[in-house]
């Protein structure tokens, strides 16, 4: 087909490199877009971006080929697709998952999909060292039936996620599974117990029902205006908070934020988010 193969650089795993080439080969061989759909975007749309944008991105990030393909559309400064996808980098607004733009300034502000985290390397907090970290660590490139194409299995752990998607990508309603998803890499931060170290809290329990939790102010949380925190809602109805549970995204955003540790608020300078659920500080 006359398509020039773009060489890979950097120390990447054989598995991911091979998988990436297989994905591209299948996309090029398909006579129809029916088997290669990514949120109603056809294979040809990604291949066009591959040819026009990825070489430029790879000059800046030579060791991130998978993320480079994704950022060809999902970086607002590079997108020429005309599809108006959610911008996870350099976008005009932060999405439900936050923005990776924050990690351009400080590694500690969240997941870094562009270069290896200078402070943590490839070791997720509360987890074991990984081989790589990029967009495809958490997402599949094609529709897989899971929410937002999140991977259905990570590190051998099933990770189904149920949620209602906001068409504007700003406010999702999470129903179940997100904490298990995060816990597939952040194993020591997942569970229904808490940990307090010499310097303060290390982790908060997840899966806890806000209405029955000790020291929680359910009525205060429900009535709080402009909350920064969020809860997992088994009902799937924001107007029905019955059974609302604390989960990882109660306090964090999935990608990154302008605050340390991808927190939803400036935890280092105040306990505002904590006090939306709790009536006192400990």
Mapped to the 3 state alphabet, what secondary structure does 234-254 carry? Answer: CCCCCCCCCCCECCHHHHECC
- In 53-143, which residue ranges form alpha helices assigned H by DSSP? 54-60, 65-74
- Coil, strand or helix at 216: strand
What are the CA-CA distances from residue 7 to residues 16, 58, 60 (Å)? 14, 10, 14
CA 189 remoteness from chain centre: 16
Instruction: Read off the DSSP letter of residue 38.
Output: B
Task: Return the residue matching tokens 């009525």.
Answer: 219
Structural domain contains residue 272: no
Tokens of 47: 């291949």
Domain count, the chain: 1
Structural domain contains residue 214: no
Measured distance CA(243)–CA(232) in Å, rounded: 8
What are the CA-CA distances from residue 100 to residues 75, 137, 262 (Å)? 10, 15, 10
* Residue of 247, 151, 169, 170 whose CA lies nearest to 161: 151
Structural domain contains residue 129: yes
- pLDDT 10s digits, 168-179: 999 999 999 999
Is residue 66 within 8 A of residue 135, CB to CB? The reply is yes
Most confident range, picked from 6-15, 187-196, 240-249? 240-249
Measured distance CA(46)–CA(48) in Å, rounded: 5
Structural domain contains residue 75: yes
Task: Return the residue matching tokens 């060809």.
Answer: 72
- Average predicted confidence (pLDDT) for the chain: 80
* Residue of 267, 270, 250, 149 whose CA lies nearest to 205: 250
Is residue 90 within 8 A of residue 75, CB to CB? The reply is yes
Structural domain contains residue 139: yes
Backbone angles phi, psi at 8, to 5 degrees: -95, 145
Q: Is 90 exceeded by the pLDDT of residue 192?
A: no
Rounded-to-5 percentages of helix, strand, coil across the chain: 30, 15, 55
For position 193, what pLDDT does the model report? 61
Structural domain contains residue 177: no
- pLDDT 10s digits, 78-107: 888 888 899 999 999 999 999 999 998 888
b/e 259-280 (16+ beta carbons within 10 angstroms → b): beebbbbebeeeeebbbbbbee
Q: Is 80 exceeded by the pLDDT of residue 141?
A: yes
Stretch among 42-46, 80-84, 139-143, 236-240 having the lowest mean pLDDT: 42-46
* Residue of 144, 202, 154 whose CA lies nearest to 182: 154
Residue 216 CB contacts under 8 Å (≥ 6 apart), including other chains: 208, 210, 277, 278
Range of the domain at 62: 14-143
Task: Return the residue matching tokens 């998803």.
Answer: 181
268 confidence band (pLDDT: 50, 70, 90): confident
What are the CA-CA distances from residue 214 to residues 4, 28, 154, 211, 232 (Å)? 61, 56, 32, 9, 18
Structural domain contains residue 26: yes
Structural domain contains residue 120: yes
* Percent of residues, the chain, with pLDDT higher than 90: 41
pTM of the predicted structure, to 2 decimals: 0.80
Instruction: Read off the DSSP letter of residue 269.
Output: G
- pLDDT 10s digits, 236-256: 999 999 899 999 999 999 999
Most confident range, picked from 13-22, 38-47, 113-122? 113-122
């Amino acid at each position: 087909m006359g398509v020039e193969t773009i060489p890979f650089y950097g120390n990447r795993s054989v598995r991911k490199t091979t998988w990436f080439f297989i994905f591209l080969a299948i996309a090029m061989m398909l006579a129809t877009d029916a088997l290669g759909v990514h949120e109603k975007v056809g294979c040809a749309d990604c291949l066009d971006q591959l040819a026009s944008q990825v070489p430029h991105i790879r000059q800046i990030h030579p060791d991130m080929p998978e993320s480079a393909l994704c950022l060809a559309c999902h970086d607002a400064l590079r997108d020429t697709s005309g599809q108006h996808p959610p911008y996870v980098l350099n976008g005009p607004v932060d999405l439900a998952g936050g923005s990776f733009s924050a990690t351009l300034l400080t590694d500690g502000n969240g997941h870094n999909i562009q270069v290896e985290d200078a402070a943590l390397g490839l070791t997720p907090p509360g987890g074991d060292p990984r081989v790589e970290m990029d967009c495809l660590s958490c997402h599949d490139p094609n529709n897989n039936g899971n929410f937002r194409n999140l991977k259905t299995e990570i590190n051998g752990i099933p990770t189904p996620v149920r949620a209602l998607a906001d068409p504007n990508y700003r406010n999702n309603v999470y129903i179940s599974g997100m904490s298990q998803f995060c816990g597939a890499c952040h194993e020591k931060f997942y569970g229904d117990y808490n940990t307090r170290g010499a310097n303060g809290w290390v982790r908060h329990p997840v899966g806890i029902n806000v209405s029955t939790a000790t020291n929680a102010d359910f009525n205060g949380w429900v009535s709080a205006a402009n909350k920064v925190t969020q809860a997992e809602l088994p009902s799937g109805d924001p107007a029905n908070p019955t059974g609302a549970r604390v989960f990882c995204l109660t306090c964090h955003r999935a990608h990154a934020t302008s605050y340390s540790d991808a927190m939803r608020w400036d935890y280092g300078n105040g306990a505002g988010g904590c006090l939306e659920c709790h009536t006192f500080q400990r």
